Amino acid sequence: ARRSSKGDEVPKAKKEEQLAGRVRVVVRLRPRTADETKGDKDFADVVFMEPEIKRVTLKKNHWETDSYFYDTVLPDHASQKKVYETVTQPVVESVLQGYNGTVLAYGQTGTGKTHTLANIGLEDKSARGMMVRAVEDLFEKAVADTEYNTSIKLSYVQMYMEMVQDLLRPENANITLYEDPDTKEVTMPGVEEVMLDNLDHCISIMEVASKSRVVANQKMNASSSRSHALMILTVLRQPKDADKGENIVLLRRGKLYLADLAGSERINKSGSAGHMADEAKSINLSLTTLGKCINCLTEPNPGHIPYRESKLTRLLKDSFGGSARTSLIITIGPNPEHFQETLSTLQFGQRALKVQNNLKIQEDLDYRLLSKRQQAELDKLTAAVER
Ligand code: ADP
Ligand code: MG
Residues with a CB atom less than 6 Å from ligand 1: 30-31, 33, 107, 109-115, 225, 263, 331
Ligand 1 atom 20: the closest Cα is on which residue?
Answer: 112
Residue 192: which residues within 8 A CB-CB, separation 6 or more? 155, 166, 168, 169, 172
| Least distant ligand from the CA of 30 | 1
Query: What region, left, alpha or beta, does residue 154 occupy, with left being phi > 0 and alpha being psi -120 to 50 degrees?
Result: beta
Provide the whole-model pTM.
0.87
272 pLDDT above the threshold of 90: no
Question: Using an 8 Å Cβ cutoff, are 155 and 231 in contact?
Answer: yes
Q: Report percent pLDDT > 70 for the chain.
A: 81
Q: What is the mean pLDDT of the chain?
A: 86
What distance lies between CA 75 and its chain's CA centroid? Answer: 21
Provide long-range contacts, Cβ within 8 A and 24+ apart, for 67-70.
68/27, 68/346, 68/347, 68/349, 68/350, 70/25, 70/26, 70/27, 70/330, 70/349, 70/353
Distance 298 CA to ligand 1 centre (A): 31
Tell me, what's the pLDDT at 244?
61
Distance 101 CA to ligand 2 centre (A): 21
Tell me, what's the pLDDT at 270?
44
Tell me, what's the pLDDT at 8?
46
- DSSP assignment of 192-237 equals --EE--SHHHHHHHHHHHHHHHHHHHHHTT--GGGSEEEEEEEEEE
4 pLDDT above the threshold of 70: no
Question: Using an 8 Å Cβ cutoff, are 358 and 22 in contact?
Answer: no
Tell me, what's the pLDDT at 371?
55
Question: What average pLDDT does this structure show over 175-191?
Answer: 92
- How far apart (Å, rounded) are the C-alpha atoms in residues 193 and 232? 9
pLDDT tens for 8-30 read: 455 566 666 566 789 999 999 99
Tell me, what's the pLDDT at 5?
40
Q: How confident is the model at residue 374 (pLDDT cuts 50, 70, 90)?
A: low
Tell me which of 3 and 144 has the higher pLDDT.
144
Locate the ligand 1 atom nearest the alpha carbon of residue 107 and give its number.
Answer: 3
- Residue 89, CB-side half-sphere exposure with 13 Å CA sphere: 10
pLDDT tens for 69-86 read: 999 999 999 999 999 999
- How far apart (Å, rounded) are the C-alpha atoms in residues 133 and 249? 30
Hey, is 57 helix, strand or coil?
strand
Tell me, what's the pLDDT at 282?
67
- How far apart (Å, rounded) are the C-alpha atoms in residues 71 and 353? 8
Distance 230 CA to ligand 2 centre (A): 12
Mark the binding-site residues, compressed into ranges: 107-114
pLDDT tens for 308-351 read: 999 999 999 999 988 899 999 999 999 999 999 999 999 999 99
Q: How confident is the model at residue 383 (pLDDT cuts 50, 70, 90)?
A: confident
Q: How confident is the model at residue 245 (pLDDT cuts 50, 70, 90)?
A: low
Tell me, what's the pLDDT at 101?
94
